[in-house]
Amino acid sequence: MLADYQRAFIELAISCDVLKFGEFTLKSGRISPYFFNAGRFDNGDALHRLGGFYADALQASGVKYDMLFGPAYKGIPLVSATSIALAAQYNKAVPYAFNRKEAKTHGEGGLTVGADLTGDVIIVDDVITAGTAIREVIAILQQTPANPVGVMVAIDRQEKGKAEQSAIQEVESEYGISVVSIVKIDHVVEYLKETQEYSQFISPIEGYRRSYGTAV
């Protein structure tokens, strides 16, 4: 059953053209009946609301953490918005940090900006596609006193990679961490069935799930 914040997130994603329906050729060569582009959350109101949805999903997950980390570059506004929302909505002053693409050689220097990396850390990003970027971030965190315990993303496509597992499932099993999403693609299908506004895309998405989807 859809939570209120999940329904509101899907509505925002559709209204911002973040979530689109049709035929889209993915990097894998698969023809997907939907496409998700988090870069279209491109104004202050959308980012404000998006941070709230990340905070809601993180609270609902029950995962214990001490701080947040946003991978450059997309993760920087996401981790900032999530930290602000946790303070505003849940009265939680959660420290956060993010990395630079290149280490700074002047001033205080270093590869990261923000709070000291320590304790249990949640990585905040938009999606996990192949898992390459997340593995790079985990490698950075493993060189510090911080302990990566989870990843927070906007949507879980529930889609197989080259093997039977999705990239998210691979990351979970490889590192023994939790990956939390605001919604899964099954939630999107549930929403479409509720509203019937995009009912013509329900069958293509379910067919795509049968061909390429994971069990959960």
Would you list the domain boundaries of the chain? 4-212
The burial class, CB within 10 Å (0-12 / 13-18 / 19+), for 9 is buried
List the catalytic residue out of 64, 74, 92, 104.
104
One-letter amino acid of 125: D
Cα–Cα distance, 136 to 118 (Å, whole number):
18
- For residue 36, what pLDDT band results from cuts at 50, 70 and 90? very high
What 3-state class would DSSP assign to 110?
strand
The residue with tokens 């918005």 is 81
Residues of the chain above pLDDT 90, percent: 76
List the catalytic residue out of 27, 101, 106, 162.
106
82 to 46, 59, 134, 143: CA distances (angstroms): 12, 11, 18, 24
pLDDT tens-digit profile of 149-184? 999 999 999 998 778 889 899 999 999 999 999 999
- For residue 106, what pLDDT band results from cuts at 50, 70 and 90? low
Question: Quick check: is 162 catalytic?
Answer: no
Q: When comparing pLDDT for 66 and 213, which is higher?
A: 66
Question: Quick check: is 187 catalytic?
Answer: no
- Please state which architecture CATH assigns to domain 4-212: 3-Layer(aba) Sandwich (3.40)
